Amino acid sequence: MPAPQTYKTSARWDPPFHFFVLPVMILNVAFAIYATIHHWPDHPHLFPWWIVLSIALFLLALRSRQYALKAQDRVIRLEERLRLAALLPPADLARGNALTESQLIGLRFASDGELPALVRRALDENLTQKQIKEAIVTWKPDLFRV
């Protein structure tokens, strides 16, 4: 069983992506630039193309991760709207529609018991995602994140 999740341990690292794919892509761009500078006269068309291709692969890796995170954020937004509909009184539910996507994402870690008060506080004080996460007392872990 994983350790309990808290604000300090909520950041999610994907080791294959963060510690292998990204460093390899960065090294590939750097090596392409290095090779172009040091071997320019040998292949004047090949090396610039290698730089362009290296940058394209790096951007592809970044955008692929961003697309997955954006899809995840949409699912979180839907889950939290359903949870708010089940837990908030009608007056607070009407106000809850004013929550931003970022605030909803921060609220996903709040336990059901503290969610209504935290929603009111987020709306009244216009709390950021970070402030919402810091205000959570009883953390509800999210272990299925991308």
Contact 57, 28 (CB under 8 A): yes
∠ CA 108-99-106, nearest 5°, is: 25
Query: pLDDT for 85-138, tens place per residue?
Result: 999 999 888 888 899 999 999 999 999 999 999 999 999 999 999 999 999 998
List helix spans (H) across the chain. 15-16, 22-38, 46-87, 90-96, 101-107, 115-125, 129-135
Quick one: pLDDT at residue 2?
61
Domain positions in the chain: 14-74, 88-140
Q: What percent of the chain stands above pLDDT 70?
A: 92
Contact residues for 109 (Cβ-Cβ < 8 A; gap 6+): 5, 7, 10, 133, 136, 139, 140, 141, 142
